[in-house]
Amino acid sequence: MPSLDLVLDNARLPDGTVQAIGISGSRIVMLAEGSAEVSVGRERHDLGGALVLPGFVDGHNHLDTTFFGDVWRPHQRCTAGFNVGERLAIQKDWLARGASLAIRAGALVERAVSRGTTHMRTHVEIDTDFGLTHLEGILALREKYRDVVSIQIVGLARGLLVRPGTRELLDEALAQGADVVGGLDSASFEGDIEAHLALVFALAERHGKGIDLHLHDGGQLGLHTLDRMAARTRAASLEGRVVASHAYALGEVPRDAMMRTAENLAAANVAIMTNAPGDHPFPPVLALRDAGVTVFAGNDDIRDSWWPYGDGDMLERAMMIGYRSGFNTDDELACAFDMITQAPANVLGIPDYGLTIGSLADLVVVDADHAQMAVVARPVRRGVYKSGRLVARGGVFLDHAANL
């Protein structure tokens, strides 16, 4: 075997085995029991049985609207209960008075990486008030941090039907670098389920992109929208490339109604993203997964005008989902862990993900016996590696890791 760039001896893998992990370039090229007699060209570390996990995947966040790294702003409630339109107005007011996107989003990226995130999908505002400035900012951020985290961009268009010019902006955003077609509430916000979905799927076909739609609408209205998304997904042969984010309705209706929609989602391979938000009902994770639906996790909003919580830690998110779902057994806790690793990696189409020979060396080292303990204890991240390079240590982002 040629000289390796990095060897991590006595690394405990999630399956319980203790292996030496050999890395050459950006990939895992060796797994050997305990430690191995090999030539090492750069570094060698004895982990002493510390747990090595695949890099975490944040399947849904909003880098462009976070206020992480800015001054603290007390939460501002809507005047009469939750209202998406009013929340967006509050968000725009805050953004007009906040620090630059580069400062806010950069601070959150560095915190997320320090906690073990190596891949993320971020939803970027495509709005006639902003034009494409948010997209341009996140594209620059993606380039700056390309060596520490992989960022997939969703063009989150709010107003495709109801705000003239939004469709044209999203079309341009997809041409300029947005990876996924996004949108908001086909019924309550856009006002026409069929027309909105027709436009979204047409844009996806035109640009060869996947789809990730925010769906807050509850009850039977939300179920109907999900059923129509599933039907259009199959008609467009987009199985495996469509996501319904939040999909609160699945947690609000009787089980038999939920299961009928779950069967449609499974048949179309439409995935569901949840962050187990606050005191709001959310999709029943185990029932959906048992029905064949991919359910994965994301942090969603982090310290922004929507709520003041979060710091980008996906182990914390897995714990929250497990806690709110009543996960107690090892199998259930393993499900929570899968929701921040393999499940979102599959949805995002991340190639060569995992801890096998040939996989990209995106690794997180923690003091825990197994993944279930990591979810419960959320230990400090001893080391975070992106493509074989150390990018964070002891919960601290290493400044030299990015293209600063």
| Domain span holding position 368 | 4-54+353-401
Does 206 lie in the same domain as 242? yes
When pLDDT is averaged across residues 203-229 and rounded to a whole number, the result is 98
Tokens found for residue 351: 């190639």
pLDDT for the residue 78 = 84
Picking from 327, 348, 369, the residue at the C-terminal end of a domain is 348
The rounded distance, in Å, linking the Cα atoms of 47 and 58 is: 26
The number of angstroms, rounded, from the C-alpha of 315 to the middle of its chain's C-alpha atoms is 12
pLDDT for the residue 36 = 67
When pLDDT is averaged across residues 265-270 and rounded to a whole number, the result is 98
Q: How many domains does the chain have?
A: 2
Share of the chain above pLDDT 70, in %: 97
Does 142 lie in the same domain as 203? yes
Does 290 lie in the same domain as 189? yes
pLDDT for the residue 194 = 98
Picking from 306, 332, 348, the residue at the C-terminal end of a domain is 348
Q: If we measure between CA atoms, which residue out of 170, 176, 214, 208 comes closest to residue 60?
A: 214
- CB under 8 Å to 248, separation ≥6 — which residues? 215, 216, 217, 218, 222, 280, 281, 282, 283
Does 37 lie in the same domain as 79? no
pLDDT for the residue 6 = 94
Query: Which residue type sits at 374?
Result: A
Question: Is the separation of the CB atoms in 8 and 52 below 8 Å?
Answer: yes
Which residue matches tokens 């902006």? 169
pLDDT for the residue 20 = 94
Q: If we measure between CA atoms, which residue out of 388, 402, 393, 335 comes closest to residue 42?
A: 388
Does 160 lie in the same domain as 141? yes
Q: How many residues does the structure list for the chain?
A: 404
pLDDT in tens, 125-164: 999 988 999 999 999 999 999 999 999 999 999 999 999 9
Does 91 lie in the same domain as 63? yes
The rounded distance, in Å, linking the Cα atoms of 242 and 225 is: 13
Burial status of residue 303 (CB atoms within 10 A of its CB: 0-12, 13-18, 19 or more): buried
Does 300 lie in the same domain as 374? no
Q: What's the pLDDT band for 116 if we cut at 50, 70, 90?
A: very high
The rounded distance, in Å, linking the Cα atoms of 247 and 249 is: 5
pLDDT for the residue 404 = 52
36 HSE (CA, 13 A, CB side): 22
Strands (E) across 71-179 are located at 117-126, 150-157
pLDDT in tens, 53-105: 999 999 999 999 999 988 898 888 888 777 777 888 888 888 888 889 999 99
DSSP 319: H
Query: Which residue type sits at 283?
Result: P
Picking from 348, 364, 382, the residue at the C-terminal end of a domain is 348
Question: Is the separation of the CB atoms in 258 and 284 below 8 Å?
Answer: yes
pLDDT for the residue 42 = 79
Does 363 lie in the same domain as 333? no
Q: If we measure between CA atoms, which residue out of 275, 377, 365, 277 comes closest to residue 333?
A: 377
Does 65 lie in the same domain as 32? no
Supply the CATH number for residue 377's domain.
2.30.40.10
| Pairing of the two strands 117-126 and 180-184 | unpaired
Q: What's the pLDDT band for 402 if we cut at 50, 70, 90?
A: low
Residue 401, pLDDT above cutoff 80: no
Question: Is the separation of the CB atoms in 61 and 122 below 8 Å?
Answer: yes
Task: Tell me which of 38-52, 311-325, 369-383 is least confident.
Answer: 38-52
Does 255 lie in the same domain as 113? yes
Does 271 lie in the same domain as 358? no
When pLDDT is averaged across residues 220-239 and rounded to a whole number, the result is 98
When pLDDT is averaged across residues 157-175 and rounded to a whole number, the result is 97
Tokens found for residue 257: 């109604």
Does 190 lie in the same domain as 46? no
Task: Tell me which of 64-68, 249-253, 351-355 is least confident.
Answer: 64-68
Looking at per-residue pLDDT, the higher value among 147 and 278 belongs to 147
Supply the CATH number for residue 193's domain.
3.20.20.140
Which residue matches tokens 């040629």? 2
When pLDDT is averaged across residues 112-128 and rounded to a whole number, the result is 97
The rounded distance, in Å, linking the Cα atoms of 158 and 182 is: 9
Tell me the three-class secondary structure of 102-130, residue by residue. Answer: HHHHHHHHHHHHHCCEEEEEEEEEEECCC
